[in-house]
Amino acid sequence: MNAAPALALAIVISGRGSNMVAIAQACARGQLAARVALVIADRRDAGGIALARQLGLEVAVIPAREYAGRAAFEAALRDAIEASGAQLVVLAGFMRILSPQFAQHYAGRMLNIHPSLLPRFPGLHTHARVLAAREREHGASVHFVTGELDAGPVVLQARVPVLPGDTAASLSARVQQQEHIIYPRAIGYIAAGRLRWTAAGPEFDSRPLREPLVEGQCT
């Protein structure tokens, strides 16, 4: 019996692309039944462009600032995704807010990773905000993208303790280590058919996913 074809990914980045690298390497090692069809950068100076090319990945640069507005940029982004044959869009350090219309077009086919335990601390500067709030726990969340910022259903989280003496930088580094674990894992669940989007929301192993999976507590 032939194996199912690898899930084709379009990874969208704005910066260094560390999660993109983690996902691409996991694909190359055969840890998940997926392949990177295209890496898209919305900035010409994104550090992840060079890393993607070093990994032998196809790269498209679609500079958002060079388009007349969000609609024109999103049209170009959508064209690139569709031309690549990608089945899943993976936002990996993508720093632009997508329109509800774009999110709706890719409903159930677009993931994001956010550096907090959503729904707590959506938006920017999460590490500094966690420290200012004197939280004891922090982490990262993989979620399906919807029209509301950082509010789509969370499917997988990793938790880290906030340690005495932590700075935003030290906390960020520890959270990012977990991001590199859980993002490939969530994509792997989709590629294996274990995590699915339905009209009622996400399902895991054919059961409604009412609470996020937690890294270290799921198999």
pLDDT, tens digit, 9 for 90 and up, residues 56-72: 999 999 999 999 999 99
What is d(CA 42, CA 168) in angstroms, rounded to the nearest whole number? 26
Percentage above 70 pLDDT, the chain: 97
Per-residue pLDDT tens digits for 197-215: 999 999 999 999 999 999 9
Question: pLDDT band at 219, cuts 50/70/90?
Answer: low
Output the pTM of the full model.
Answer: 0.96
pLDDT of residue 97: 95
Question: pLDDT band at 187, cuts 50/70/90?
Answer: very high
- Catalytic positions are 114
Domains of the chain, each with CATH number or no CATH: 7-214 (3.40.50.170)
189: tokens are 């669940």
Residue 19's closest CA among 96, 97, 113, 88? Answer: 113
User: Could you tell me where the beta strands, DSSP code E, fall in 145-181?
Assistant: 154-161
Question: pLDDT band at 1, cuts 50/70/90?
Answer: very low
- Interval 40-56 mean pLDDT: 98
* H-state helical runs in 48-154: 48-54, 70-84, 100-105, 126-132
Residue 108's closest CA among 141, 75, 60, 155? Answer: 155
pLDDT of residue 217: 72
Question: pLDDT band at 2, cuts 50/70/90?
Answer: low
